[in-house]
Amino acid sequence: MLLHVWLGVLLLHVCSASCGHGMLYPRDSESRQTKLLDGFWQFRADTSPARNQGFLEQWWTDRLLESGPVIDIPVPASYNDITEDKSLRDFIGWAWYDREFFVSSDWASNKRVVFRIDSAHYNAVVWVNGLEVVRHEGGHLPFEVEVQTVLKFNGPNYVTVAVNNTLTPETLPPGAIQYQTDTTMYPPGYFVQNLFQMDFFNYAGIHRHVRLYTTPLVYVDDITILTEVDNETVAWVNYTVAVAGGFSSQVEVTVEDANHHVVASSNTLTNVLAIPYPTLWWPVGMNSTVGYMYTLKVNVSGDIYRQPFGIRTVRVTEDQFLINEKPFYCLGVGKHEDADFRGRGLDYTLIAKDFNMLRWLGVNCIRTSHYPYAEEIMDFADRQGVAVIDESPGVSIINVNNFGNVSLQHHLDVMSELIRRDKNKPSVIMWSVANEPASDLDISVPYFKTILDFTKASDPAHRPTTFVSYKPFETDKVVKFADVICLNHYYGWYTDSGHLEVIRYQLRREFAGFRKLYKKPILFTEYGVDTIPGLHMNPSFVFSEEFQVSYLHEHHKVFDEARQQYLIGEMVWNFADFATIE
C-alpha cells in the first residue's frame, strides 16, 4: 500500500501559481523575449516499489546524474516509445527530468522572467536551482510561475521536473491503481493502472514546449475579446485588457487586419471599437474567405502584446447551429494527439500534415477528443477555418466515486483553465465538458449541471456547452442541461455486430426519442468501424473495406433525412489510427 499512501501525500489538489491571472500565449515582441528549453533532457523513471525514492532522496537538490543513471529524452515528447524498454513504455509513477540552461544578463533587472510548461502529463512539480517553484495538477493545459528571484544570471541554472501519470478516481480522466498481493502469482509490490473505458494509451511526459519568457514589470496580464456583427456592415470589437505589476501610465490599442492595416484604435484598457465592413471568420465551406484573422495590438506602458482574433458570432436554436447567423453543418472527425515514437508530443510537421488531410477530406469541424489539444493546433485551426469543439479530459467518468466533491472541484478548475487559454479563439464554437460519462446515474445530474452552468458562465462569450452521451434517450439524465445533444453510437458494430440492416431503424429511433424529450439540435459525434486496410470481402463482412463503406452509407441515409430538420453535424470516428491500451 506504499504507493497509495505516497499518492495521498504528494498528489493533493494543487492549483498552480498561474491560477487567478491570464494565460496569454508567450509571444516575442518589442518588449518581450522567449527562450525555448526544448531539446534533450536528462531523464530517470523512479522504479522504486512506492515510486517515492526521488522524493526521499531529494533528487531535485542536484543534477539527476549525481544521484544515479540517466538517459537522454527529447522534449516535447511522450517518453513511452522512445526506448526499447517495455517497462518504460508501460511505466506508472514519477518520472524525473532535468536540464541545464543559461539566462542572459540582459534579463537580470527591470523584467519579469516566467517559466512555463505548455503541458506535462499528468501531475508535475518543478524546481529551479533546487527550489520548488510550482506544482500543477492535470495534463494538457499550460502552467507558469515567475522565477526571476531564483535564477542565476552569471552562470548555469538547472531545472528539475517530476511528472506523474498515475490516474486516480479523482483525476481527469479517472482511473484506479489495482494492487496484487498474492506473491505466489505476482512479484512483491505488483500493481497495474486500470483505465476503465478510456480507449486510448495513457501517454506520459512533457508533451509540449518548455520555455522562459520575459515581460516588463508592468505588463499585459490578460486580454479578452468579444465580437458582434451588425448585418455584416459593421462589427463591434469589445475588448478588455488586464494589467498587472503596477499602474498603466500609457495605453495604446489598435486593431490590424490581415495585411497589418490599422482599422480601429483606442487609448483605454476597455472599449468597444467599430470596424466597418469587416471580413468575418468563417469555417471551410461557408464562405470564399475562411479563417480570416485580425490582431489586437496592445501597448501598456511599453509592454507590447499582439492577440490574434476573428470576428464571428455563434448561436444555437432548437434546430440549428448558426455561425454569423447562417446555418452551420459539421462535417467532422474525432481526433487524437498521437503519432509514432513521439506519442502525444508536439510536432509541427504532423500538425501541418493533419490539417492538409482534413482539408483534402472536406472536414470543417473537429472535436479535441478527449482532452485539450496544443495551442499550436488551436491556432492552426483558427487560420485554416476549422471549427473546434473544445473538449476537457473528462472521459470515462463512469463510477460513483468519480462524482465526489474533489472530482467536481478539479473538473471546474480544468474548465476554468481551458476557457482562460482558448477564450479568444474564433475556431472554438462550443465547449464539451465530458465524453461518454455515466449520465444515467442520479449522482451525475448535480455534477454535470454544475459543470455545464459554470462553463457557460465562465466563458465571456457564453459559447454553447455540451457533453457527449452514449446513453439511450430512455436513461440519459444530463442532456437536458446541454445546449446541443451530442451522441456516440455504434449500431451494427458494438451492438448487433455485422448487421447493417438494423442501423437505420435504431438510429431513427434514437433521434426521435431525444427530439421528443428535448427540442435541441443533435450532433452525431462518433460512428465508425474498425477496418483492416487492404482486406476485401464481397459480399462485405466485418473488418473489410467494403463493410466500412456500407456501414457509413447506412448512417448517411438517416443523416440526410435528419439534416433537413434538426441534425447539425456528423463526425466519423476516427480521423487516423491511434494507440490504445491493448
> Which residue do the cell numbers 460513483 mark?
400
CB atoms within 10 A of CB 76: 24
Q: Would you tell me the crossing angle of helices 375-384 and 348-361 to the nearest 10 degrees?
A: 40
Grid cell at residue 277: 465592413
CA distance 269 to 421: 20
CA distance 505 to 85: 49
170 assigned to active site: no
Q: Between the CA of residue 13 and those of 9, 92, 136, what are the distances in Å? A: 10, 19, 9
In SS3 terms, 544-555 reads as CHHHHHHHHHHH
CA distance 161 to 206: 9
Pick the closest to residue 461 from 170, 233, 237 (CA basis).
237
- Report the half-sphere exposure of 18 (CA within 13 A, side-chain side): 25
Grid cell at residue 415: 474548465
CA distance 74 to 140: 18
Contact at 8 Å (CB) between 568 and 364?
Answer: no
From the candidates 436, 526, 554, 570, which is the catalytic residue? 436
CB atoms within 10 A of CB 229: 17
CB atoms within 10 A of CB 536: 11
Task: Sort strands 234-244 and 270-276 into parallel, antiparallel or unpaired.
Answer: antiparallel
At residue 228, the 3 state secondary structure works out as strand
**DSSP E strand boundaries for 516-566:** 522-526
CA 346 to chain centre: 13
Active site residues: 436
